[in-house]
Amino acid sequence: MNNWQNFYFLRHGQTDWNLEGRFQGRSDVPLNATGHKQALNAGLLLKQHPIERIICSPLDRAIKTAKIVAEHISLPVQIDDQLIERTFGSFEGLIISDVKRKHGIDINEPAAKILPTDAEQWSETVKRSREAIGKLLTAAPSENILFVAHHGIFRALTETLCGPGLDSENGTPYRFHSTDGKWAATKVS
């Protein structure tokens, strides 16, 4: 990871399930009107940055976000199945706060503590995310890459590179950058 180049990350725009606070996972929920606006704004913002490749998750919300951004920076969109969101198994579609309350954990605690056995466990998400991003960065060591994916992938990357505690916002681009081997993720402005 210390030999990775800097890169950009964009969480897909908002969906109705994001707005409702539902476990979304691999359910293919489309962008809502706010999500489309967020993707448009991200495209206008990222147009000012030297992005040379866009790689995204195969889920519709990420593809639509990536395509809206791609229109502004005149690049094709490449899909990589390893950037897909983690599955929450039988929790998908349920209200996150209701599930946490039912299982006796605080709303601010990670759901990883209570995931059902049919969900992708957090350690698996972290490993898959790190390997996927690493493979893609290594294959194009001199390119400025924008990854368009999901909150779970973002959290796995920030936890791996920067330490715990950073959450992503829908439709907000971030730049991952390393200085003297220490990584940070900052909002693109």
User: Angle CA(10)–CA(14)–CA(20) in degrees, nearest 5?
Assistant: 140
What mean pLDDT comes out for the span 121-136? Answer: 95
In a domain, 135, yes or no: yes
In a domain, 27, yes or no: yes
pLDDT at 112 over 90: no
What mean pLDDT comes out for the span 8-23? Answer: 97
- Residue 166's pLDDT is 80
In a domain, 69, yes or no: yes
Rounded Cα gap, residues 168 and 152, in angstroms = 9
Name the pLDDT band for 3 (thresholds 50, 70, 90).
confident
Q: What is the CATH number of the domain that holds 53?
A: 3.40.50.1240
In a domain, 103, yes or no: yes
Tell me how far CA of residue 120 lies from CA of 90, 117, 132, in angstroms.
11, 8, 16
Tens digit of pLDDT for each residue in 49-101? Answer: 999 999 999 999 999 999 999 999 999 999 999 999 999 999 999 999 999 99
Tens digit of pLDDT for each residue in 24-43? Answer: 999 999 999 999 999 999 99
Rounded Cα gap, residues 70 and 28, in angstroms = 21
* Averaged pLDDT of the chain: 94
Tokens of 64: 């639509």
Q: How many domains does the chain have?
A: 1
In a domain, 83, yes or no: yes
What mean pLDDT comes out for the span 132-152? Answer: 94
In a domain, 1, yes or no: no
Catalytically active residues are 12, 85
Name the pLDDT band for 178 (thresholds 50, 70, 90).
very high
In a domain, 2, yes or no: no
Beta-carbon contacts of 87 under 8 Å, excluding residues fewer than 6 positions away, are 25, 26, 118, 119, 120
Instruction: Return the closest-CA partner of residue 128 out of 157, 99, 90.
Output: 157
- Residue 121's pLDDT is 94
The range of the structural domain enclosing residue 131 comes to: 7-187
Q: Is pTM beyond 0.75 here?
A: yes
